[in-house]
Structure 1
Amino acid sequence: MKQIGRMGWAMTGLASVFAVPGHADVLKDSDLTLGLRNFYYDRDFKQTDAPKSRVGSWSQGFDAQFKSGYTEGPVQFGLDAYGQYAFRLDGGGGRGPDTVLPYDDSKGRPVQEYGRASLAAKMKFSNTQVRVGEHRPMLPVAYYDDSRQLITTYEGATVESKEWAKLTLNAGRFWKTATRESSDREDIYLFGDTPAQSSDGLNFAGARYDFPPAFNTTYYFAQLENIYQQHYAAAAYTWAMGGGYTLKSDIRYYNTQDEGAKRSGDLDNRSIGFMTALNKGGHTFTAAYQRMSGDDAFPLLNGYAPQPFLVNWSTIAFYKAQERSWQARYDYNFAAMGLPGLKLMTRYLRGTQIDRGPGLSDNVESETNVVMSYVIQSGPLSGLAFEGRNIKVKTRYGADFDENRLITSYTWTFW
């Protein structure tokens, strides 16, 4: 009922926006796009006792986005609308849940199609914007997921202010999430828990300050009600070394502790990560180290919501209790060779000292990635993108697998 009420409120806001003077700017400054994504996913498990030897699917997805302009006046209004839809091309019976499409246990196969639609009302005054409805946040305390077919989104209310030069302030509350393999919105709880352990909402506030020309600091506080309180602090510096070299260094810290009714039980995690990247021309060399402390793993939100502010975030994420992990990465942009649009990324990550519980020996895991991507730069197919991704995972105790993803994407702009 709450969700229906919020949707009704948003529809009322849409009617109001188009009814007031100055509504022409709402349409004149609007844009409408349709994102197309063809996604092939195959994961081949290598251990002999795997419940399924192989999972995967092939699907076609659509992501329609209408973003209005604003009405005139000191306080301005607008409304955005979103629709996501996907259908399965292949990957039927005989394969288990694949983290891409919803799985129908009664039929023993992924669903044939799924989708969802939503709205976001927005208000702007000076350099401050308020939004209520769908969000696709890229924050240290909540991050959207664009790694599969449909995109993980959040429903809530936020405010972002840039009233002061170099300072960005964010605050808000998310009360629902729609995970990447679901048509439904649900309450927020921790990955690995059940809906019975869900929170009433995620509250957060944070700030980023940029010190010209190359240094910035960030702090966020989040409260997942009756589950945890979380602090995040970070700093980054980019050094122009001369001779075409630049060196960017980051340090990122999380402290997460249980709070309130502790619906997920006791929770104690601290994470610190260091990352440095050396760039010259088309080459970028990156090294990172991350350490988990405390009794528990880093808490992820339901749907395996990503948190790429962890420096070693990847397919298996390297977020387990007590885990120490490091990464070596190389990127090359072929534009430096006169081939704009073609890029390569390869990296190796390894995690050790993973606490599996009392009386059990520590786990070790590793991941290797190779990614090639190309975006057509001109002509009638300009913007058409291709990506091939190979992922190899090995563990001492757990699931070993080889994974391949092939993605073709294009965004059609209507206006």
Structure 2
Amino acid sequence: MPKAQKLTLAVLIQAALITTAYASEQSEAKGFVEDAEGSVLFRTGYLSRDKKNGKADTSSAAQTAMVKIESGYTQGIVGFGVGIIGDGSFKIGDNKNAGNNMIPRETLNGKENSGDTYDHWGRGGGIVKARISNTEVRYGTQVLDLPVLASNTARLVPEYFEGVLATSREINGLELTAGKFTKDQYSDQINTDGRHLDRAVVWGAKYKFNDQINASYYGLDSKNALERHYVNANYKQALANNSSLTYDFSGYHTKFDANAKTYSATGTVAPDYADSMIAGEEKTNNIWAVSGTYNTGNHNVMLAYQQNSGNVGYDYGENADGGQSIYLPNSYLSDFIGNDEKSAQLQYTYNFAGMNVPGLTWTTAYVYGWDIKVKDVTDSAQEREFFNQVKYTVQSGFAKDASLRLRHSYYRASDAYQSAYIGDTNEWRIWLDVPVKFF
């Protein structure tokens, strides 16, 4: 185990044993039943990609119910609990051109997820958990929200990981994390280990210095795939009239194993790279971004700059490292992660509470990327995306917290980058979410 992982685990154990300066979460436990929570999220989802240049379109529509039931912790020095998470879904329409990680397909000729789409399907799993003081350990099926190992939650149902995760908040303002996962199930997969994860070890820490400054670091070692490190620093500056400026820096360093899948490698690659996407030798990538966000009243404006370096782009999701593991600002339909790519973004968000329509927001953004290296073709490819999203959340009444989200992306790339990445696309995403709380 790398030294960084050993150090983090040691700190987690020690933190659980020290006396803290603030209240213990476990000491306030009410009981296994008394603190139990149960809910279901009904989601109707539609995702359509209108492809250009002769590429086949993809579209999917489906309905799901995502259930989460979790007990509280038993009382005592060490508390114990259990929980389940899962989803039951059915498709809407034929979905003959389904794709986009929305609807699973049957196995065809021994190849998973390549046959006809399922009419209905179900997935899920359970957890067991334990807590001492402010340190919690969870084992089982989980939805992860870590910068280096994040579940894709941008489809009909979430990506599931199976393993153990420890989180410690023994020191005020400091959160330590360590875990190990051995299964990865994508949003459109029935197989509970559809991504064929060998072993992914994660570790990290985030610290809130005060109300203005936050910082974090996370690491990932995915066996036979990659080693990844992430850093972030965020500073919020208060201005007059309740306005603010927020400065943010984030970045990843990734070393890909020779057996990892990499879409955009340059330099020496294996002879069958075009078919396998496996470079056959180690590749490295560095990607970082800086952004500044100005907020005043109901208006929010962000400027961001993002840059890649190394001999491969920032590839993720193909190496059992999470389908949403890109905590960077220039990420919409495209993530602007091409080899050596630079990109700049202007984003604007308006909250219609300023027009007496609370719950309604609109976000628009334009991102332009340039200087993309495409193997054996060019080192100056370009891409651009115009993004718009409108979301309304019901604020009160029987449908409180129900939401409707409409999202559209207009994406175009230079000829040299068409086959290497997404290709010219007009995309629509429509989500109707209705949450219901049982207890």
Aligned to 2:299: 283
CA 105–394 in structure 1, closer or farther in 2 if over 3 Å, else same: farther
Gaps of 5+ in 1: 1-22, 189-194
Aligned to 2:225: 227
The answer to whether the 8 Å contact 1:175/1:187 transfers is no
Distance 1:231 1:89 in 2: 40
The answer to whether the 8 Å contact 1:298/1:321 transfers is yes
Instruction: Return the TM-score normalized by structure 2.
Output: 0.82
CA 260–360 in structure 1, closer or farther in 2 if over 3 Å, else same: closer
Aligned to 1:26: 32
Q: What amino acid is the match of 1:411?
A: P
Aligned to 2:48: 42
CA 109–348 in structure 1, closer or farther in 2 if over 3 Å, else same: farther
Deviations 1:57-105 (A, max 9, x none): 2210110000110111100000110111211111433x25333112347
Aligned residues: 380
Mapping of 1:316-327 within 5 angstroms? 316-327=334-345
Mapping of 1:235-274 within 5 angstroms? 235-258=233-256, 265-274=281-290
Distance 1:200 1:40 in 2: 32
Q: Find the partner of 1:401 among 400, 416, 425.
A: 425
Determine helix, strand or coil for the equivalent of 1:362: strand
What is the Cα-based RMSD across aligned positions, in Å? Answer: 2.1
Distance 1:261 1:365 in 2: 28
Q: What amino acid is the match of 2:424?
A: D
The answer to whether the 8 Å contact 1:97/1:103 transfers is no
- After superposing the two structures, state which structure 1 stretch, 236-245 or 257-266, moved more: 257-266
CA 208–24 in structure 1, closer or farther in 2 if over 3 Å, else same: closer
Aligned to 1:103: 105
Q: What amino acid is the match of 1:136?
A: V
Q: What amino acid is the match of 1:30?
A: A
Distance 1:33 1:369 in 2: 32
Distance 1:168 1:24 in 2: 23
Q: What amino acid is the match of 1:99?
A: N
The answer to whether the 8 Å contact 2:60/2:98 transfers is no
Distance 2:61 2:199 in 1: 34
Residue 218 (1) aligns with residue 220 (2): no
Q: What amino acid is the match of 1:311?
A: P
Deviations 1:292-350 (A, max 9, x none): 10001113123870124122122121112111111110111112322111111111111
Displacement of 1:185 = 1.9
Mapping of 1:64-143 within 5 angstroms? 64-93=67-96, 95-104=97-106, 109-143=116-150
CA 261–242 in structure 1, closer or farther in 2 if over 3 Å, else same: same
Aligned to 1:309: 327
Aligned to 1:376: 394
CA 109–55 in structure 1, closer or farther in 2 if over 3 Å, else same: farther
The answer to whether the 8 Å contact 1:96/1:109 transfers is no
Determine helix, strand or coil for the equivalent of 2:314: coil
Gaps of 5+ in 2: 1-28, 109-113, 262-277
Aligned to 1:16: none
Aligned to 2:371: 353
Q: What amino acid is the match of 1:369?
A: F
Q: Find the partner of 1:151 among 142, 151, 158.
A: 158
Residue 205 (1) aligns with residue 208 (2): no
Deviations 1:86-127 (A, max 9, x none): 11111433x253331123475964221222120111100000
Distance 1:404 1:98 in 2: 11
Q: What amino acid is the match of 2:309?
A: S
Q: What percentage of residue pairs aligned between the two structures are identical?
A: 26
